[in-house]
Amino acid sequence: MYDLIIRGGRVIDPESGHDGVADVAIQAGTIVAVGAGLGDAAQVIDAGGLVVAPGFVDLHAHGQSLPADRMQAFDGVTTTLELELGVWPVARWYEEQGRAGRTLNYGASTGWVFTRIGAMTAQQVEASIEGMGRAMRDPRWSSAAATAAETEDIIARVRQGLDEGGIGIGFPNAYVPGAGAKEMSALCRLAASANAPTFTHIAYMSNVDPRSSIEAYTRLIGFAGSTGAHMHMCHFNSTSLQDVEAAAELVRTAQAQGLKVTLEAYPYGVGSTVVGAAFFTDPEFPQRTGGGYDTIELLQSGRRLADRDDLLAAQEQDPGALILWHFLDVDVTPRHRDLLDVSVLFPGGAIASDAIAWMIDGAPYTGDAWPLPDGVVSHPRSAGTFTRFLSRWVRERQSMPLIEGIAKCTLIPAQILEAGTPQMHRKGRIKPGCDADIVVFDYADLRDMAEFSAMNRPARGMRHVLVNGEAVIADGYLRPNARPGRPVRREAR
Ligand SMILES: [Zn+2]
C-alpha cells in the first residue's frame, strides 16, 4: 500500500528515455516504483491524458518569497535556486528559509558580490538585487580591483559560504567591472578544489571590441581551462546580444575540448535588473548594445528613459530601482527571434528563468493574497518561463521532441549541479529512489499567461504539482498552506 499513485499518465523521464503510459508510486516523499499494475495506494491521481514529468529545476531565481514560489509552481517549478547573484551570509539565509517554510525546494550559491561589498566598503545591504543596486552609493566594490588584503578577505568569506552549504559561487561580473583576473583566478581555483560550480553573468555586454561579450566569454572559458573550475554562463540570451552565434561557437568548441562550461537561457527578448547597473552607465552604452536609452523602462512607472542624463538622474534617485531592458525585439524583428533561438535551443543548455522579485508600489510584495493582487509587478519570466518554452518552442514550433524539451527544464539543470551537490542526483528524473518532485500537466492546454501589461497571471496547464510527494497544486488549484519545500545545499563541512 503506497501513499500515492499517479495512475495512467504519459510518463516522461529524460534520463532513461522513457516516454509512455505508466503508473508512478510514491512513499514518504520518494518515488518507489514506475510501471504497470502497481497495486493500491491511500490516494490516487488519475493522470489519463496528462503528461507526468519531473518537476522543473530553476537555476536562476531572484526575489524568492511565498508569492514567487506560488507563481513558479504554476510554471511547473519544484526547485528554485538563487545561483547567479547568491546570498550572504549563507547559513543564515538557509535558516531563515527553513523557519519561514517554503512551498518549493530552495537553495543558493555564495554571493561573491556581497562578500566584496563587505570586504571593500562599510555598507551593510540585504542580499538581493535591489540591495546590490543600493550599494552603488559607495561603488568601490564594483569599480575597483581588490587589494591583496581585500582579496584575502573576499576569498575567506567565499570559502565560508561554500563550507556553509552554498551551491557554488555566484559571479555577476557585469556589476563588478573592476574585479581583476588575479582575484577571479584565485576564486575559480577555490571553486575547482571544492568541486563547486560558478555561475557567471559575464563582465561585458557589447557587440563591439574592446570589452565585447566575446571578450568576456573568452576570458570565462580561459578560467575553466586555467583553473579547472566549472563555469556556468547565466542568461546566454541577454549577454550575447547580436553576437550570439559567434558566442555559441566559442562554447561548443570549449565543450568539445572537455572544458566544464555550461549555459542557460530564458525565452524572452526583454531583461530585468536595477537601474544602477554599471553597464548602463558606460557612455557608449547605445553603440555597444545596439539599442538606445529608450530600451530601458522603469518598472514602477512604465516610463522609458530618454537619454543618458535621464539615466544618470534615475540612478541618482534610486540605483536599486528595478527596470525592464528591451534588448531584442523578438515580436517585430525576425532576425531577433533567430538570435533568441540560438540560446534557447542550444543543445545541452538549461532553461532558467532569472525570475525577479514581485513588487508593489516600489517595495517587495511578499504577502499571502492569492491570486496576486493587480498592481503587483515583476517580469513575465517570473511566472511563465518554462511553460512559455514548452508551449511555444516545443509544442507550437516543434523545435524538438517533448522529452528533449523536458530535459532542458529538469535533467540538464540537475546534472549541472550534481557533481558538487549530490542530492541533485535525486532530482530531474522519474525513477525509484528519486525525490517525488513531479508535475502532471495538460500538454495541449499548457501556456504562459503573464504579459508585460499583466504580469500577475499564473501560467495555465499544471493540474498537479508535487514537491517531496506533497501537492502544492491539486486539480489545478493552489493549496495555500502547503510548505513541503526542502533545502538544496552542498554538504556543509
Ligand atoms: Zn539574474
- 3-state SS of the chain is CEEEEEEEEEEEECCCCEEEEEEEEEECCEEEEEECCCCCEEEEEECCCCEEEECEEECEECCCCHHHHHHHHHCCEEEEEEEEEEECCHHHHHHHHHHHCCCCEEEEEEEHHHHHHHHHCCCCCCCCHHHHHHHHHCCHHHHCCCCHHHHHHHHHHHHHHHHCCCCCEEECHHHCCCCCHHHHHHHHHHHHHCCCCEEECCCCCCCCCCCCHHHHHHHHHHHHHHHCCCEEECCHHHHCHHHHHHHHHHHHHHHHCCCCEEEEECCCCEEEEECCCHHHHCCCHHHHHCCCHHHEEECCCCCECCCHHHHHHHHHHCCCCEEEEECCCCCCCHHHHHHHHHHHCCCCCEECCCECCCEECCEECCCCCCCCCCCCECCCHHHHHHHHHHHHHHHHCCCCCHHHHHHHHCHHHHHHHHCCCHHHHHCCCCCCCCECCEEEECHHHCECCCECCECCCCCECEEEEEECCEEEEECCEECCCCCCCCECCCCCC
Tell me the CA–centroid distance for residue 85 and ligand 1, in Å. 7
Centre of ligand 1 from the C-alpha of residue 136, in Å: 17
- In the prediction, which pLDDT does 493 show? 54
**Is residue 276 in some structural domain?**
yes
- How far does residue 363's CA lie from ligand 1's centre (Å)? 19
List, in sequence order, every residue forming a beta bridge with 77; answer none if it has no partner.
56
Is position 75 within any domain?
yes
User: How much distance in Å is there from the Cα of 206 to the middle of ligand 1?
Assistant: 18
Ligand 1 centroid from CA 199, angstroms: 10
For residue 62, how far is its CA from the centre of ligand 1 (angstroms)? 7
Neighbours of ion ligand 1 (CB under 5 A): 84, 354
Q: State the cell numbers at 163.
A: 563550507
**Domain match, 155 and 303 both:** yes
Q: How many domains would you assign to the chain?
A: 2
Pair 338, 468 in one domain: no
CATH number assigned to the domain comprising residue 314: 3.20.20.140
Q: From the CA of 84, how far away is ligand 1's center (Å)?
A: 6
State the distance from the centre of ligand 1 to the C-alpha of 180, rounded, in angstroms. Answer: 21
Ligand 1: centre distance to CA 106 (Å): 16
- 447 within domain boundaries: yes
Domain boundary among 423, 444, 461: 423
Mark whether 131 and 45 lie in a shared domain: no
Domain of residue 190, residue span: 56-423
Domain for residue 491, yes or no? Answer: no
Separation of 235 CA from ligand 1 center, angstroms?
A: 8
**Angle (CA) 464 468 469, round 5°:** 50
Whether 398 and 443 share a structural domain: no
Residue 463 alpha carbon to ligand 1 centre in Å: 29
pLDDT at position 37: 86
Q: Do 24 and 81 belong together in one domain?
A: no
Ligand 1 centroid–CA 4 distance in Å is 37
CA-based nearest residue to 74, from 344, 445, 489: 445
Q: Ligand 1 centroid to 311 CA: how many Å?
A: 21
Distance 119 CA to ligand 1 centre (A): 22
**In contact, 246 and 284? CB cutoff 8 Å:** no
Positions in the chain whose pLDDT score sits under 50: none
In a domain, 74, yes or no: yes
Calculate how far, in angstroms, residue 87's C-alpha sits from the geometric centre of ligand 1: 13
Q: How far, in Å, from the CA of 64 to the mean position of ligand 1? A: 12
State the CATH number of the domain containing residue 434. Answer: 2.30.40.10
C-alpha 159 – ligand 1 centre gap (Å): 22
Does residue 20 sit in the same domain as residue 139? no
Nearest in space to 354 (alpha carbons), one of 178, 215, 199: 199
485 in any annotated domain: no
Distance 201 CA to ligand 1 centre (A): 8
- 216 and 185 both lie in a single domain: yes
Q: What is the mean pLDDT of the chain?
A: 96
- pTM for this one? 0.96
Same structural domain for residues 254 and 136? yes
How far is the centre of ligand 1, averaged over its atoms, from the C-alpha of 286 (Å)?
21
Question: For 421-447, what is each residue's pLDDT tens digit?
Answer: 999 999 999 999 999 999 999 999 999
Between the CA of 240 and the centroid of ligand 1 the distance, in Å, is 14
Asked if residue 138 is part of any domain, the answer here is: yes
What is the whole-number distance in angstroms between the Cα of residue 20 and the centre of ligand 1? 36
The answer to whether residue 490 sits within a structural domain is: no
Same domain, 93 and 166: yes
Asked whether residue 341 falls in the same domain as residue 466, the answer is: no
407 and 460 housed in the same domain:
no
Q: Are residues 464 and 404 in the same domain?
A: no
Question: How far does residue 322's CA lie from ligand 1's centre (Å)?
Answer: 12
Domain end (from 381, 398, 423):
423
Q: How far is the CA of 471 from the centre of ligand 1 (A)?
A: 28
